[in-house]
Amino acid sequence: MASVLDLIGETPLIEVTQFDRGPCRLFLKLESANPSGSIKDRPARAMVAAAEADGRLGPAGTIVEATAGNTGLGLALVAGRKGYRIVLVVPDKMAREKILHCKAMGAEVILTRSDVGRGHPDYYQDLAETIAARTHGAFFINQFANPANPQAHQDTTGPEIFRQMQGRVDAVVLGVGSGGTLTGIGRFMAKNSPATRMILADPSGSVLAPFVETGQVPKAGSWAVEGIGEDFIPPNADLNLVHKAYAIPDPESFATARDLLRREGVLAGSSTGTLLAAALRYCREQDKPQRVVTLVCDSGAKYLSKVFNPVYAAQEGWDYERQGRVRDVVFARFSEGEEVLVHPNDTLRTTFLRMRAGDVSQVPVVDGDRIVGLVDESDMLGAALEGSERAFDLPVKEVMVTRLETISADAPIRELVPLFRRDLVAIVMDGGRFLGIATRLDLINYFRIAKKR
Ligand code: PMP
């Protein structure tokens, strides 16, 4: 009888047909089909097996790793099936969803600072190493330097690609997080298909593509794509295998992932957007037909609130020109259906559920396309404290504030400041129509993106 661990690998390969591929054929290997949903199940299983084989991990041992990403999920899956304790050290900027996912898989999660670098005792990788050293029977996985990581891809992913492509692969387009995929597949191809080119897809801001192109490691920037791109060269990344590198800006990666879902029906994460964008650029640059493969590294289900959320793109400042006007900070727009709102006859219960689901602390009350009131946490709390048993059945129109202070979308942004000083939320009107609301957090975010470039 197969266990879930036997379902790792042997993932399907499909052909991309709805994008301009120049003279090439382009194929996608769906690593999202692995049981924990990503390419990292393969090295997770292999790194645990290697540690068992050489006695570094014994029965009832503890697995320690520094990650809240796919490696953590893959390791938690393997540890759970095999009866090991697992401790994951996670930087505190990680998305809550990822931390909840790791915990739900049975991992113990230790949060640490995100604002310190390599060499600091609280840096997540240094801390993981210390915890492993202090814990009896613990094994520090260290995917960045563990040779079983690339070996897993050399033994499985590489041969599968070669077989599924009937031995004819001109190029493989890959990203580097730990370097396991690149080095493993690259070594397999070097032995079995030496003409196959390894192409690096890297987020702009990472040091890897510049290193391939210039031989120098520049100062790292920042990027929003998750799972690939680095601020150092991981020991497991053999960049000598790389023939050509592309640096892909975040907006292009995100847009490509969205296009992949719309056009091909494949729900993939942000790193897949980077890989596919680079693969498409490579294909279009060719003057002879080639057979090109890239990967769907993980599922887009983890990124619905980022890659597939237009408000996120607006908050990153990707979609529009900033002009120093109030409209620049209205990220969730009523006219685009993005604003969280209630109708005057909605109950306080409905209002509360919308506020919680939308993660907001105030909502506009809208009748047709007119804003008629605003309700916030203190209005709700007041009603709950004073009201009868049935307070949550009251229509919101009985609790909302109706004396509204509005501001024009075209007003200079600094005119928001006096409103915020008076503890008000700005109700932004665009030529008499309700555009959306602006909060302090929106203004803070505006300064963050303005100062980023
Ligand atoms: N994509 C995603 C989503 C990942 O989580 C990772 C692993 N960090 C990769 C790509 C890159 O894989 P590797 O670690 O083998 O370089």
Residue identifier of the C-alpha nearest atom 3 of ligand 1: 227
- Cα–ligand 1 centroid distance for 152 (angstroms): 13
108 and 180 assigned to the same domain: no
- Segment 200-254, tens digit of pLDDT: 999 999 999 999 999 999 999 989 999 999 989 999 999 999 999 999 999 999 9
Residue 50 CA to residue 450 CA, distance in Å, equals 48
Asked if pLDDT for residue 415 goes beyond 70, the answer is yes
Which of 29, 38, 40, 98 does the annotation list as catalytic? 40
pLDDT in tens, 324-333: 999 999 999 9
Does any domain span residue 152?
A: yes
95 and 76 within one domain: yes
Under the banding of pLDDT at 50, 70 and 90, the label for residue 336 is confident
Domain boundary, last residue among 140, 170, 190:
140
Same domain, 347 and 445: yes
Give the number of the atom of ligand 1 that is nearest the alpha carbon of residue 269: 3
Buried b (16+ CB within 10 A) or exposed e, 373-400: bbbbeebbeebeeeeeeebeebbbbebb
Q: Which of 104, 120, 140 is the last residue of a domain?
A: 140
Picking from 88-97, 134-143, 309-318, which range would have the lowest pLDDT averaged per residue?
88-97
Instruction: Quickly state the pLDDT bin for 116 (edges 50, 70, 90).
Output: confident
To test the pocket of ligand 1, the residue of 28, 32, 38, 40 to mutate (highest count of ligand atoms within 8 Å of its CB) is: 40
Q: Please tell me whether residues 334 and 270 are part of one structural domain.
A: no
- Is 68 a residue whose pLDDT tops 90? no
Q: Is 271 a catalytic residue?
A: yes
Are residues 406 and 372 both part of a single domain? yes
Residue 313 included in any domain: no
Give domain status of residue 310, yes or no.
no
Q: What is the pLDDT of residues 254-268, one digit of tens each?
A: 999 999 999 999 999
Interval 281-306 mean pLDDT: 96
Question: Is 312 part of a structural domain of the chain?
Answer: no
Based on the domain organization, do 172 and 289 belong to the same domain? yes
Q: How many CB atoms lie within 10 A of CB 141?
A: 27
DSSP 32-82: GGSTTSBTTHHHHHHHHHHHHHTTSS-TT-EEEEE-SSHHHHHHHHHHHHH
More confident residue, 90 or 276: 276
Domain identity same for 251 and 295: yes
CA of 203 from ligand 1 middle (Å) equals: 12
169 pLDDT above the threshold of 70: yes
Residues 265 and 390 in one domain: no
Pair 163, 263 in one domain: yes
8 A C-beta contact, residue 315 and residue 291: no
- Whether residue 453 has pLDDT greater than 60: no
Determine, yes or no, domain membership for 309: no
Query: By three-state DSSP, how is residue 304 classified?
Result: coil
- Whole-angstrom Cα distance, residue 372 to residue 292? 56
Structural domain of 105: 41-140
- Ligand 1 contact via 179 beta carbon (within 6 Å): yes
- pTM > 0.85: yes
Q: Is residue 311 part of a domain?
A: no
What's the number of domains the chain is made of?
3
Boundary residue ending a domain (119, 140, 161)? 140
Cα separation of 154 and 246, whole Å?
A: 23
178 and 210 belong to one structural domain: yes
Q: How far apart are CA 304 and CA 300, in angstroms?
A: 6
What is the arithmetic mean of pLDDT over 312-325? 85
Q: Mean of the pLDDT values across residues 100-122? A: 91
Q: Rounded mean pLDDT of the chain?
A: 94
Strands 108-112 and 197-203 turn out to be unpaired
User: Higher model confidence: residue 280 or residue 338?
Assistant: 280
Expressed in angstroms and rounded, the spacing between residue 445 Cα and the centre of ligand 1 is: 29
My answer on whether 207 and 110 are in the same domain is no
Residue type, 415: E
Cα separation of 284 and 363, whole Å? 47
The CATH number of whichever domain residue 129 belongs to comes to 3.40.50.1100
Determine the pLDDT at residue 369. 85
User: Ligand 1 pocket: which of 125, 144, 181, 267 to mutate (most atoms <8 Å of CB)?
Assistant: 181
| pLDDT for the residue 317 | 86
Are 205 and 285 members of one domain?
A: yes
Residue 179 alpha carbon to ligand 1 centre in Å: 8
Rg of the chain over CA atoms, in angstroms? 25
End-to-end CA distance of the chain: 55
Task: From 178, 182, 274, 302, give the residue whose CB has the most ligand 1 atoms within 8 Å, as the site to mutate.
Answer: 178
List the structure tokens of 164.
């599924």
Per the annotation, the verdict on 306 as an active-site residue is no
Residue 452 has pLDDT above 70, yes or no: no
In a domain, 440, yes or no: yes
Q: Quick check: CB of 300 below 6 Å from ligand 1?
A: no
State the CATH number of the domain containing residue 369. Answer: 3.10.580.10
Closest CA to 293 of 135, 192, 166, 384: 166
Q: Residue 321 Cα, ligand 1 centroid: separation in angstroms?
A: 33
The verdict on residue 314 lying in a domain is no
Atom of ligand 1 nearest to the CA of 236: 16
